[in-house]
Amino acid sequence: MSLIKTLTGKSHCILQTITELHQDDALKDVGLKDIIDLRKNEKVFKEITCEKLLPYVVGKRKWDAEVHVQLVSDFSTTSDEAWMLLVLENCWECWEYESQDSHPEDSTKPVKKYTRDKRERGRNRGWTQAGIARFNELCQIAGEDRAKNKKVEEEYLAEKIDEQEEKMGSRKRKRNTDDDEVEWLEPYNDGLVDEWAKYI
């Protein structure tokens, strides 16, 4: 699979997540700045960035395998975080516009901040120079945030370990309960076993 297809798929998953956030009343007040704050805003980092956005950038299967074992920064890169933030910044106004039930007649749909329209002709229709420069800034922001706010990741890992242990404990209890309910029956012998034993 090409990198472009992979990134397009990931940005589509992020789009779905943002659409869900706008529809969820409990999370409606979360803004782009809250997400860009990364670990400085612990609640948003844990509940939205880690639970809903970053898994799609890192890869859901990898995320699920590692999130109970390592710190987020040990299995995701600074570039992963920066790319997630860049996609959010690029499309946020469009998503907000689309999430509204109605639009004033004179309003026009906002354009994406750092990418060119697919319908434009010519070369280099992808990220603008401003988008590339912003990605580099976001890499620096994410790197500094990782260094300064490691404690938030440690707390998140501890929560995920507890969650995993609780899940495993309930499975063991369920399995033990099932074993206790089974009644062992005496082996059934209708005489055929003895009959077959003559020929062996």
What is the per-residue burial (b if ≥16 Cβ within 10 Å, else e) of 118-127? Answer: eeeeeeeeeb
pLDDT tens for each residue of 153-185:
999 999 999 999 988 876 655 555 555 555 555
Token pair 């589509």: residue? 12
Looking at residue 151, the DSSP 8-state letter turns out to be: H
Residue 102's contacts (CB-CB under 8 Å, 6 or more residues apart) are none
**pTM of the predicted model over 0.75:** no
Taken in order 186, 189, 193, 194, the sign of the CA dihedral is: positive
Q: Which residues pair with 127 in a beta bridge?
A: 115
Name the maximum alpha-carbon separation found in the chain: 95
pLDDT at 171: 62
Nearest C-alpha neighbor of 41 from the set 138, 145, 141, 135: 145
Give the model's pLDDT for residue 32. Answer: 87
pLDDT for 33 equals 92
Q: What residues in the chain have per-residue pLDDT under 50? A: 1-7
Residue written as token pair 């395998």: 65
